[in-house]
Structure 1
């Protein structure tokens, strides 16, 4: 009877553009001792002949291949080569999720971000990093704020040109770009220019883009908190307006890593601004109208959150296969049979539900749920100053009734509605 194969620890070695010469003895010893080394073809070419291990290039796509490759080499001394720091936007994450952190031995190398900040004299803690490796170019837009410094991890040699075009199209054409190639090697090169007149042809694919953000004076200013100007959205009138939107996001209370269902997405503003609060926030917009669903996707890309998922379906039928949400917002379709109950049932304990309406029929539904489940029922009223002849007066927008509630732990219902004070009693 053969003995079972005991999985060996996986050693992950970070390597820089300077190759073998830049590795410390610990990393070199690990590579020499390995039976097999897995890595990208570029990294594997950096190894000298004295590393006699079998060299296994990653297939494409990489992520699905990780479990299979590790299983094929179980019982052997296995090393994985990675660019720079394997735990910083690198293969280390996939490996930790596959074999568990206790089976990893990570030997990091300085990352391209560390090198770039050293060359530029930028404090790393004050520099935001955006990766475009395997991610849409549009995701950069959410990080654009006047005066901020960004380091953009390039996907290919042409990424700097694409970044310059995006900056120019988003009103940041005056931003200074510095492209740092082959950081840490004897082939380092720096290219300089502005986004609006970027003069350089695509160079080395191993590059990092440093951006000094400068907003054009005529470009709209988009802040970092909910309540973007209504003009930031393409819409057909189905838009949660700015002040109500800010109040709605406040009670939805997004936190890193959480998932929102935005039911009756309209123009997508609630889901978009939920995702803009933190790069790990996720949202699913459910919209039955095809034209509006397409518009939501365009707005999401324009405002830097292209990962927002749009489901073109009517609710509640379109909710059946969705991942469990942390919060639900209902901005339309409240009177659809079963919608409120389906959203409530989908929430886990501690999940939040917020619903807005301007109609009496939907308001009656929210008042009923408020009596049953508690929470907070408020009316939001906004008035705008407008010309009245040669003077100025107030124009009242339609008041919005809003119900917000948190599902109680250990109980399918939330706390009951608070008692209404009797006449003469202090509220």
Structure 2
């Protein structure tokens, strides 16, 4: 038997019990009774060791890596009186969300404790709804970067004892040395410990691996201001200059209209700016960018790490990748920023865009612009033309220097839309 669509847990609802650093003494009687009734308990070695002998269930530590082994592990225990231990709130970056996805919420009985974030805010006097939370457990640390704006309060869920030091190094390297850093260890337990200091002066050695890092963000004067809003300064990007300029980038992202959890296909990645700023709008946004040149794929990777979205999927030539079916899923939006005159490119992209999906294309040459006009005639949508001027020195004076004009076509694909007769030449 295997888990997945159609799998039904045959046993009683699985108690998923949140356990704090205080262990058994901190549990409510409801949670204790549920543990006593289990025949098998799954959890980490640390969690299982916190239970007293009166819990007679067979104790089995999670395998590593966990996620690939979990479906088979559950199938082997199907029908048994199984219980699962979690840290704090199982639905807060915990095993509870994974189990709910695999088995359905009706197969679970979740008994939470306060989460580490709740306990940290209680100690610090912070309002939990106003705090940004970033997990670096199995996730890259640069994901913290988009949250770093002046005055923001951020909680970092640590992977291990070395996480606080890496957080401090990231803050220093990105102009946030004045930030106040607080490391809270073993929250709620008898070994609870709290240490604070500024990132610039941090000298604390690694402590307990069960910790959370609180950052009251403060930046150095004159640093480059980077927020989640599109249109980051051009200076934020490295590379060979193949870059959608900030003004056009902001207008393009507005037309693409990213929503939480949506996926973008960025055709002709260049420096990666469109895909990067799409992903920066929300932590759950995802992007696949297609770029034919190796050196530009390298610069996209570097820019994505530096700007806090290192998980962007970077691919090669778009037609080959799309035709081969190597790109999983369907995009919610597609941006055509390069290769518009490549035969077959638009057709491939349009065929993979689901009904209700958005497509935005930018053109700077007469040939590409003619294609946008033709596609708009076949599929509808909106055509716009942008001309940006930037003030630049001219001797002792200032003049307006024009940027290349950009023609933009944006369209929402109707559910019944089919490929038109227009083909690229």
Shorter-chain TM range is over 0.9
The CA distance in 2 between the partners of 1:6 and 1:293, in whole Å, is: 48
After TM superposition, list the pairs within 5 Å mapping 1:294-313 onto structure 2.
294-311=298-315, 313=316
Q: Secondary structure at the match of 1:316?
A: helix
Moved more, 284-293 or 315-324: 315-324
Contact 1:252–1:327 (8 Å) recurs in 2: yes
Q: Secondary structure at the match of 2:277?
A: helix
Structure 1 counterpart of 2:317, from 314, 317, 328: 314
Cα offset for 1:384? 1.0
Q: Where does residue 121 of structure 1 map in the other structure?
A: 125
1:122-158 per-residue CA deviation (whole Å, 9 max, x = no partner) reads 1111111111111001111111010000111000001
1:319-373 per-residue CA deviation (whole Å, 9 max, x = no partner) reads 2322210100011111111011111111001111111111111111111101111
The CA distance in 1 between the partners of 2:143 and 2:269, in whole Å, is: 20
Q: Where does residue 421 of structure 1 map in the other structure?
A: none
Moved more, 92-101 or 241-250: 92-101
The CA distance in 1 between the partners of 2:345 and 2:268, in whole Å, is: 11
Cα offset for 1:235? 2.0
The CA distance in 1 between the partners of 2:228 and 2:417, in whole Å, is: 36
Q: Where does residue 416 of structure 2 map in the other structure?
A: 410
Q: Where does residue 398 of structure 2 map in the other structure?
A: 392
Q: Where does residue 423 of structure 2 map in the other structure?
A: none
Q: Where does residue 346 of structure 2 map in the other structure?
A: 340
Q: Where does residue 200 of structure 2 map in the other structure?
A: 196
Q: Secondary structure at the match of 1:295?
A: helix
The CA distance in 1 between the partners of 2:214 and 2:394, in whole Å, is: 50
Cα offset for 1:413? 6.3
Contact 2:228–2:277 (8 Å) recurs in 1: no
Moved more, 185-194 or 12-21: 185-194
Contact 1:283–1:309 (8 Å) recurs in 2: yes
Q: Where does residue 255 of structure 2 map in the other structure?
A: 251
1:179-225 per-residue CA deviation (whole Å, 9 max, x = no partner) reads 00000011110111111221110000000101010011021111221
The CA distance in 2 between the partners of 1:388 and 1:158, in whole Å, is: 52
The CA distance in 2 between the partners of 1:122 and 1:390, in whole Å, is: 51
- 2:190 pairs with 1:186: yes
Cα offset for 1:74? 1.4
1:214-269 per-residue CA deviation (whole Å, 9 max, x = no partner) reads 01102111122100000000121110000000000000000111100000000000
Q: Secondary structure at the match of 1:209?
A: strand
Contact 2:351–2:419 (8 Å) recurs in 1: no
After TM superposition, list the pairs within 5 Å mapping 1:227-376 onto structure 2.
227-311=231-315, 313-320=316-323, 321=325, 322=327, 323-376=329-382
Contact 1:259–1:325 (8 Å) recurs in 2: yes
Structure 1 counterpart of 2:149, from 145, 154, 166: 145
Cα offset for 1:377? 1.0
The runs of 4+ residues in structure 1 deviating greater than 4 Å are none
Structure 2 counterpart of 1:382, from 382, 388, 412: 388
Contact 1:34–1:53 (8 Å) recurs in 2: yes
TM-score (norm 2): 0.95
- 2:84 pairs with 1:77: no
1:62-99 per-residue CA deviation (whole Å, 9 max, x = no partner) reads 11222111111112111100000000000001111111
Contact 1:86–1:92 (8 Å) recurs in 2: yes
Contact 1:407–1:413 (8 Å) recurs in 2: no
After TM superposition, list the pairs within 5 Å mapping 1:156-235 onto structure 2.
156-235=160-239
The CA distance in 1 between the partners of 2:378 and 2:168, in whole Å, is: 54
- 2:41 pairs with 1:59: no
The CA distance in 2 between the partners of 1:111 and 1:255, in whole Å, is: 27
1:98-118 per-residue CA deviation (whole Å, 9 max, x = no partner) reads 111111000001111111111
Contact 1:8–1:74 (8 Å) recurs in 2: no
The CA distance in 1 between the partners of 2:129 and 2:394, in whole Å, is: 52
* Unpaired runs of at least 5, structure 2: 1-7, 421-425
Q: Secondary structure at the match of 1:291?
A: helix
Change (3 A) 1:237 1:6: closer
The CA distance in 1 between the partners of 2:320 and 2:177, in whole Å, is: 45
CA RMSD after TM alignment: 1.5
Contact 2:358–2:412 (8 Å) recurs in 1: yes
The CA distance in 1 between the partners of 2:336 and 2:174, in whole Å, is: 30
TM-score (norm 1): 0.94
